[in-house]
Structure 1
Amino acid sequence: MIQIPRHDVPTRNVKRLLAILEPDLQGKIDDLEEDAEWFSMTLGSALRVFGVRCAEDPAVAELETWESCVTAMQVSSALFASARATTDTVECLIDHKKRAIRSGAGPWAHAGNWLTAFWLAALCREKRRLNELCEVPVAQLRNAGGVFDSYIYDWVEALQAYWLKQPQLGDKLVAAVDGTDPDVLRHADADGVLRLMYPPMNLLTQLARGDAEKFNAELAKAIRWHKEYWTDDEDRELDAQGFVALGLTAVSCLARDAGFALTVESEYLPEGLLDAGWVGEFPT
Structure 2
Amino acid sequence: MIRTISRHDLSAVPDVMRLIEGLGTHLTQGIDQLDESIGFARLIDSYLDTALLLLRARCAVDPQAAALETWESAVNAMQLGSALFAVTGADEGAVECRINRKVRTLPAIGPMPTAAAGSWLTAFWLAVICRNQRRMTQLCEIPVERMRSPDGQYDEYIYHWVDTLQTYWLRRPGLVEKLTATFQTSDPTVARVAPRDLLDGLLYPPINLFYHFVRRDEEGFSPALVEALELHKTYWTLNEEREADIDGSIALGPLAIACLAYDGGIPIGVESEYLPKHLLQRSWLGEFPT
Counterpart of 2:256, as a letter, is A
2:138 equivalent in structure 1 = 132
For these two proteins, the number of residue pairs brought into alignment is 284
1:85 counterpart (82, 90, 95):
90
Partners of 1:187 and 1:270 lie apart in 2 by: 31
Tell which deviates more after alignment, 116-125 or 135-144: 135-144
2:15 counterpart (13, 17, 21):
13
Aligned 1:129-278 pairs, distance under 5 A: 129-142=135-148, 147-278=153-284
Q: Cα 1:203–1:109, aligned 2, differ >3 Å: closer, same or farther? A: same
Partners of 2:191 and 2:148 lie apart in 1 by: 17
Shift of 1:47: 0.2
> Over aligned residues, Cα RMSD in angstroms?
1.5
Partners of 1:143 and 1:225 lie apart in 2 by: 27
Shift of 1:25: 1.3
2:4 equivalent in structure 1 = 3
2:104 pairs with 1:102: no
- Asked whether the equivalents of residues 25 and 46 of structure 1 are also in contact (C-alpha less than 8 Å), the reply is yes
- Asked whether the equivalents of residues 106 and 144 of structure 1 are also in contact (C-alpha less than 8 Å), the reply is no
Counterpart of 2:168, as a letter, is Y
* Ranges in structure 2 where 5+ consecutive residues have no aligned partner: none
Partners of 1:177 and 1:44 lie apart in 2 by: 28
* Secondary structure, aligned partner of 1:98: strand
Shift of 1:86: 5.1
1:25 equivalent in structure 2 = 27
Counterpart of 2:123, as a letter, is A
Tell which deviates more after alignment, 31-40 or 247-256: 31-40
Shift of 1:14: 2.4
2:58 equivalent in structure 1 = 53
Partners of 1:64 and 1:143 lie apart in 2 by: 34
Tell which deviates more after alignment, 96-105 or 112-121: 96-105
* Secondary structure, aligned partner of 1:45: helix
Tell which deviates more after alignment, 122-131 or 191-200: 191-200
* Secondary structure, aligned partner of 2:153: coil
Partners of 2:194 and 2:49 lie apart in 1 by: 19
Counterpart of 1:125, as a letter, is R
Counterpart of 1:3, as a letter, is T
* Secondary structure, aligned partner of 1:106: coil
- Asked whether the equivalents of residues 110 and 146 of structure 1 are also in contact (C-alpha less than 8 Å), the reply is no
Partners of 1:127 and 1:186 lie apart in 2 by: 34
- Asked whether the equivalents of residues 76 and 99 of structure 2 are also in contact (C-alpha less than 8 Å), the reply is yes
Q: Could you list the structure 1 runs, at least 4 aligned residues long, displaced by more than 4 angstroms after superposition.
A: 143-146
- Give the fraction of aligned pairs with identical amino acids, expressed as a percent: 47
Shift of 1:266: 0.3
- Asked whether the equivalents of residues 31 and 38 of structure 1 are also in contact (C-alpha less than 8 Å), the reply is no
2:71 equivalent in structure 1 = 66
TM-score (norm 2): 0.94
Partners of 2:8 and 2:221 lie apart in 1 by: 23
